[in-house]
Amino acid sequence: MAHREFKRKIYAEFARIGNALSSARRLELLDLLAQGPRHVEALATETDMSVANVSQHLQVLRQARLVEAEREGTKALYRLADKHVLDLWLTLRSVAEERLAGLGQLRRDVDVYDEESPVPRDELERLFLDRNAVLIDTRPSREYEHGHLPEAISMPMDELPNRLHELPRDRPIIAYCRGDYCLFADEAVALLREKGFEAHRLDGGWPEWWAEDRAVAGVSEG
């Protein structure tokens, strides 16, 4: 194979990944699948897309080998192909944060955004030891069951208002969710502070924690 032909073909292969990532809707699907496997119907509900549209986007991701699917009864269950795909998504996001100033402003424009400095992930263990903090996972329970931070209590945001009595008032509450651009934890912190709790948001969430090869609990293949 001639040098120029090799270059043309190899960059065309790289471009398959770039093309798969060129849709905002497909990036949202990858972000959701980073939380755990999902059926097409669940992805359609969460993204406000039709099942047919979600299926088309998933096929593009599948052709680029970024997601995999298996049959579960009459439905297809999708998941990220492997952890490298998670790393790719987080790296893309990190580059965007460095180069696109508008991202920070978009976050600040959200009413529930917690402007106080979030709790660094490296400090979480110390907080547990020094102050006996309580960690809550505000994602949907299925995501918690797929994998969560050690010691975290499942307390989905839609259940939190009716479960406040389960939380201690003499210890700090640290909330996390799907990552930096998920608002469940911000909403939880706002609600908890309104009700008189000391509450903080964890820096990042499940994907960032998992990508850093930190200890996790409950991780399954399905």
Residue 107's contacts (CB-CB under 8 Å, 6 or more residues apart) are 113, 181
Active-site residue among 85, 134, 177, 185? 177
Cβ–Cβ < 8 Å for 177, 206: yes
Residue 177 appears among annotated catalytic residues: yes
Question: Where does the chain show beta strands of DSSP type E?
Answer: 38-39, 67-72, 75-80, 134-137, 153-154, 173-176, 199-201
**Residues designated as active site:** 177
